[in-house]
Structure formats: C-alpha cells, structure tokens
Amino acid sequence: MLKALKNIFRKGEAEQPASIAPTPSAPSQPSAPRHSQPKAETPRETKKPRTDKPRRERPAKPVDTWKLEDFVVEPQEGKTRFHDFRLAPELMHAIHDLGFPYCTPIQAQVLGHTLKGKDAIGRAQTGTGKTAAFLISTITQLLQTQPPKERYMGEPRALIIAPTRELVVQIAKDAEDLTKYTGLNVMQFVGGMDFDKQLKQLESRYCDILVATPGRLLDFNQRGEVHLDMVEVMVLDEADRMLDMGFIPQVRQIIRQTLFFSATFTDEVRRLAESWTRDAVSVRIEPKSVAADTVDQ
C-alpha cells in the first residue's frame, strides 16, 4: 500500500511541472533597458500654423459721429462764440466736450489777432481763461501748418514756458484736453522729477507741444536732448514771475510767433515783451472784466 502511494505522489510530481510550464516559444531577443524601449505613443495632432488660427481681434474704437451741428450755441449780444472764429472741427469737438459755449473777454480779444499769426501781449489775472486763449491759438497754428518732412525726436513745434511745476502740469492737462481729437502730442518737463523718465518720454514719440519750466527746459537744451529750431509758437505764461527767477532768454532768435502773458506789467516786463515780440497786439483785461469764479478755461 505504501509503495502504491509513493508511486502516486511521484506521478503527481512528474505531471505538475508539465501543467504549469509555459508553452515553448521562439527565443526572444534580450530585453533592452526599460528606459530605452520606445513606448507606443498616440499620434499627436499636428499644430496648425498660427495664421490658420482665428485671431482675436481687438474691439474697434467707436466711430466718432460728432458733427459741428451737434455744438449749438445761439448768438448772444455782447458775447463771442467759438464758432465765430472758424476753428478746426477737431478743436471745436474738444471745446464742446469741455462745455465752453462762449469766449471769455481775454479769449474774444486775443483770438481775433493770434489766429492770424500775430504776436500778442496779454495782461490778465488768473481765472480769465487766458490758458485756453493761448492754447487754442497754438493748436490752430499747428493744425494749419504741416510738420517738416525731416523731423526728429526732441524737436517741439510749440513751446510753452511757465514758472512753476504746478502751473506746467495744469497747462499740459488743459492742452491734452484740447488736442485729444487732433493727433498732436503734448509733453511736460518739470524739475523735481526723474530726468531719465522724462527723456524716455521724449524719445518715444514726436513732440508737438512742449510745456516746461525754465530750469528743466535749459537742462534738456544744454544736454542736446531738446532742439528749439523747429519752434513755430512760443508762449510765456506769468512772465513777471519768470523774470524774478532770472530766466535767460536764449530762445528768442528762433521764435516765429510769441504769445506773452503776465498778470502784471512793470517797466521791466514791458521791455522784455517788446524785445521778444514783433508788432504785437496788446490786450489788457481789468479785474472787473475777469470771468466768473466758475470759469476754469
């Protein structure tokens, strides 16, 4: 019996390897390292050229549908309208936006002469609208004359000099408001601000109207960054204060048209004005003719 059991176990052991042995197959090549085996990759989609992709268009600027007929100002006795001077539509559009229906006394008296290219000497207090008076004249002059074909950065076509940083900033803001539909570029240079930053601004685009304090203007000019030989119009605002600061009149030989404004006219200021202007029209606005306190032209 024991012998029979041994035979059975031997038979089972002999059969077991046969039952689990794998089916013989052709000898396989030695497997390469795992990292070098090419993996089956799903085919990537070929990227389309950028030109084939739908481009994301920038929203178009709204079409300016403004017309001069939209700026209706009825004639009124004793008042002068801006319409009476036949200003450029782009300038009238800006005046309309600012809400200036009628000229102030200084504007009514000065514009009739300066728009014809004449020099002007204006005596007017703050709040009379003198800033808008010389800006409208300056902008009109630039719009009526084409810039030179050979033009370089750092060559302003109009120069406005004011004695203080605050006044320069305010004039530049008013100029930007009045030129926003004209394509003219306005820049401001004042002391106390980064010189290199202002220089980069000057080098980035053409300058049509430059508003500056005397010190910073001379600084740029002496460094050869600003050239004044292309200046067509020059404005001296608050000239009496600039005299007190010792401003040296280096640029008068290149001036084409000069608008000279001052709150007070001493003999010294008058002599300076006469030396900087040619056949200038003189306008004097007395304090009783000053515009209302609400006027911010």
Q: Which domains does the chain have, with CATH numbers?
A: 82-289 (3.40.50.300)
Question: What's residue 264's pLDDT?
Answer: 67
Strands lying side by side in the sheet with 209-212: 186-189, 209-212, 158-161, 233-236, 257-262, 120-123, 281-284
Write out the chain's pLDDT in tens, 297 residues.
545 545 555 555 554 544 444 445 455 455 444 544 555 555 555 555 555 555 555 555 555 689 988 899 999 999 999 999 999 999 999 999 999 999 999 999 999 899 988 888 777 777 888 899 999 999 999 999 988 888 888 999 999 999 899 999 999 999 999 999 999 999 999 988 888 999 999 999 999 999 999 888 888 988 999 988 888 998 888 877 777 766 645 445 434 556 666 666 677 767 766 666 666 666 666 655 444 444 455
pTM for this predicted structure: 0.67
Beta strands 120-123; 281-284: pairing state? parallel
Q: Which amino acid, one-letter code, is at 221?
A: N
Indicate the SS3 state at residue 24. Answer: coil
Burial 158-168 (b: 16+ CB within 10 A, else e): bbbbbbbbebb
The two three-digit tokens of residue 177, written as one number: 């408001």
Contact predicate 214/247, CB 8 Å: yes
Contacts of 75 (CB under 8 A, 6+ apart): 81
Is residue 233 packed enough to be buried (19+ CB in 10 Å), middle (13-18) or exposed (0-12)? buried
Kindly report the backbone phi and psi dihedral angles of residue 51, in degrees, each rounded to the nearest multiple of 5, phi listed first: -65, -20
CB burial string 178-188: b at 16+ within 10 A, e below? bbebbebbbbb
Give the model's pLDDT for residue 91: 96
- pLDDT of 45: 56
What is the model's pLDDT at position 198? 92
Write the DSSP assignment of 148-194 as a string of letters: PSS--TT--SEEEE-SSHHHHHHHHHHHHHHHTTTT--EEEE-TTS-
Q: Helix, strand or coil for residue 225?
A: coil
